[in-house]
Amino acid sequence: MIGYMNIVVTIKQVPEDPGAVKINRETNTLVREGIPCVVNPYDLFAIEEALRIRESLQKAGARTRITVITMGPPQARSVLEEAIAMGVDNGILLSDRAFAGADVLATSYTLGKGIRKMEMVSGETIDLVICGRQSTDGDTAQVGPELAEFLGIPHVARVFAIDEIDASSARVRRRSDEGYETIQVDLPALLTVDKGINQPRVTSLKGMMRARKADIPTWGASDIGAEHDRIGLSGSPTKVVRVFSPGKSHKARLLQGSPEEVAHELAEVIRKALSS
């Protein structure tokens, strides 16, 4: 019988129009200042799923605490407010100049340290972490799995249905290339949820009033005990060397012939393109 569940949802602030962002040519990172930003659309499904788990557990007499956490610039507070307006209990902002330019590994490490700090502050362990499947800007879909590794918990990615959940485990369905799989996973666990798992609710006026007044702590690198060589640009083993919109060329060419001939000609075309 479950009495209480502690859920964390990771949410990311992304540009409303990914095509409108500017790139800092020195660091190849996004210039987010002055760009209208929103909650990463996949994370709205994650927030809604946490709220639905709360509602289903409430029927069984269980309580839940739902916390959203984001790593981003100070203006990322707005995505936490939106989540609180949807009905989550509280939000944590991980913000520090030292976090800037983080790649997926550094982001996952930072989120992991932030979640462990939450557990220390609340004295409660986390039972479930829900992430969106991917962000619409970085689009790597790696933070969820890497965060699970940092937390030392199992994860299931691309979940499109949570069929059962109790204090010790969850039975979920995830999309696969062949169709879908049903997976039983022990808690604590991390799930990344896919679009279509639910229909995210809209924020209520009452929720927005509550969000405006919410006390949202901002934690920097020293607050979460992050090692400086594992955060931000300097803690990122991968560098985005170039971000560009591929030029549109309409020079299409149909390669004809046997599979061997087409493969040979394709190799020639690629070799020429790489050497040009």
User: By the criterion CB under 6 A, which residues form the site for ligand FAD?
Assistant: 10-12, 30, 40, 42-43, 46, 70-72, 102-104, 107, 111, 131-132, 134-135, 137-144, 238, 240, 243
Cα gap 50→127, rounded to integer Å: 12
Q: 140 or 234, CB closer to ligand FAD?
A: 140
State the nearest-atom distance from the C-beta of 181 to ligand FAD, in Å. Answer: 20
State the nearest-atom distance from the C-beta of 256 to ligand FAD, in Å. Answer: 36
Inter-residue contact 248 to 122 (CB < 8 Å): no
Q: 196 or 257, CB closer to ligand FAD?
A: 196
Q: 101 or 207, CB closer to ligand FAD?
A: 101
State the nearest-atom distance from the C-beta of 43 to ligand FAD, in Å. Answer: 5
Q: 149 or 266, CB closer to ligand FAD?
A: 149
Tokens of 75: 């203006």
Strands 155-165 and 169-176: antiparallel
State the nearest-atom distance from the C-beta of 257 to ligand FAD, in Å. Answer: 36
State the nearest-atom distance from the C-beta of 267 to ligand FAD, in Å. Answer: 26
State the nearest-atom distance from the C-beta of 130 to ligand FAD, in Å. Answer: 8
- Cα dist. 141→95, 144, 251, 271 in Å? 21, 7, 32, 30
Tokens of 212: 């405006």
Q: 26 or 178, CB closer to ligand FAD?
A: 26
Q: 137 or 149, CB closer to ligand FAD?
A: 137
Residue nearest to ligand FAD (CB): 138
Task: Provide the 8-state DSSP code for 248.
Answer: P
Q: 62 or 154, CB closer to ligand FAD?
A: 154
DSSP output for 68-112: EEEES-GGGHHHHHHHHHHT-SEEEEE--GGGTT--HHHHHHHHH
Inter-residue contact 94 to 13 (CB < 8 Å): no
Longest Cα–Cα distance in the chain: 68
Give the torsion sign (CA, 52, 56, 61, 64).
negative
Inter-residue contact 129 to 115 (CB < 8 Å): yes
What amino acid is encoded at 156 in this protein?
V
State the nearest-atom distance from the C-beta of 11 to ligand FAD, in Å. Answer: 6
